[in-house]
Structure 1
Amino acid sequence: MFSDFAFGIFQESIEKYHLLDRVDQPRENPYPAGDISHLLYLKNWIDTVQWHYEDLIRDPGIDPVAALELKRKIDASNQERTDLVEYIDSYFLDKYRDVSVLPSASINTESPAWAIDRLSILALKIYHMREEAERQDASEEHRRACTEKLSVLLEQKKDLSAAIDQLLDDIAGGKKYMKVYKQMKMYNDAELNPVLREKRN
């Protein structure tokens, strides 16, 4: 199943990141460029770094200048994440380009890559919730609450994985068809963001 394949790569990326556990560590991808494995690993690596950016920026004692710099990094990371989701959807568009779409075929509410994006974030939630559930310096009450939350996350993983695999099967069988819209994020575009446009002029 594709969802198991993807989740395994996400786990590999998360575990590799946490060997050093630094947002500024070198980005190393063990998979060949152009391969779907490369895209999935890179996607989760970006998500993992951004997860920790989000932790850092919530430090109530953070220096305002450092916070602004970090916010810029988060914005850039969001843009890269969106671009990569679109690359992954391009992979699926190419993979299924010769499928004969049935007359009764319908479109899905989200593309395969955006569902896989949610699976990548879910992998991070599971990793960190498991850490909390096993944290020995936390109270028994804390560990118990986190164990219950982890159980819910694992159930969510099962459901989301099944939905992703069903969607891909339906696309492969012509029961669903892909129609991908670019996200068209406006806040990074100097032509579309009025603040950036004003500063440029």
Structure 2
Amino acid sequence: MKFTETAWEIFSQSIEDYHLTDNVEATIKNPFPDGSLEQLLYAKNWIDTVQWHMEDIIRDEDIDPTEALTLKRKIDSSNQKRTDLVEFIDSWFLDKYKNISPREDAKINSETPAWAVDRLSILALKIYHMNLEAQRETASEDHRKKCTDKLNVLLEQQKDLSEAIEQLLFDIENGKTKMKVYKQMKMYNDQSLNPILYQNVKNE
């Protein structure tokens, strides 16, 4: 089975498992062995799925402002965990390909394997929820038709993105593309880099 087929199955399982409770406070029950790529992929999509629903909740116009602020903090934390996990998955790929010697004319891809997988994980969520809307009985026929059209585009995107990821991995394995990773170095969560945060520390 191709890597992207395995990843898609794991993402789909994670999404289905989340919707057994449909609760952003639900505890993850990762079924895969610790340290395995499967375990990392499941954890990655679980974070994405929980955050997807937190983003829905915070857009409720009647949400209590205090609750919204608390939720915003959780979304920020989730974003950081998502970034950390993507970089961890890239480290997995780096280790896998550490003995590959790139050719002299090897190119550098604008996106690492893990960040491409990140897009695939989000796409799995888009397809899942667009499919629900395309079949929602309480919606109008026009709504379902529009969502079906969008779903078909997303499915085509899944095919194309999966093909692109497979090609990228093939090129890395064959030395045609360099496996190179840059850390995101996000600044807004860093107390030493965000002016608002480090000014608050000085004022204490």
User: TM > 0.5 between the two?
Assistant: yes
Query: SS of the counterpart of 1:21?
Result: coil
2:128 is aligned to: 127
Q: Distance in 1 between matches of 2:72 and 2:148?
A: 32
Q: Distance in 1 between matches of 2:86 and 2:15?
A: 18
2:193 is aligned to: 192
Query: SS of the counterpart of 1:19?
Result: coil
1:148 is aligned to: 149
Aligned identity (percent) is 65
Query: SS of the counterpart of 2:30?
Result: coil
Letter in 1 for 2:196: V
1:62 is aligned to: 63
2:19 is aligned to: 18
Deviations 1:35-72 (A, max 9, x none): 00000000000000000000000000000000000000
Note the C-alpha offset of 1:118: 0.1
Deviations 1:72-129 (A, max 9, x none): 0000000000000000000000000101211110100000000000000000000000
2:75 is aligned to: 74
TM-score (norm 2): 0.98
Letter in 1 for 2:109: N
- Consecutive unaligned residues of structure 1, counting only runs of 5 or more, are none
Note the C-alpha offset of 1:27: 1.3
Q: Distance in 2 between matches of 1:25 and 1:114?
A: 26
- Consecutive unaligned residues of structure 2, counting only runs of 5 or more, are none
1:101 matched to 2:102: yes
Letter in 1 for 2:133: E
How many residues in Structure 1 have an aligned counterpart in Structure 2? 201
2:34 is aligned to: 33
1:3 is aligned to: 4
Note the C-alpha offset of 1:26: 1.1
2:116 is aligned to: 115
Letter in 2 for 1:135: R
Note the C-alpha offset of 1:11: 0.2
Q: Distance in 1 between matches of 2:195 and 2:34?
A: 37
Please identify runs of 4+ aligned residues in structure 1 that moved more than 3 A.
none
Q: Distance in 2 between matches of 1:27 and 1:116?
A: 20
1:180 is aligned to: 181
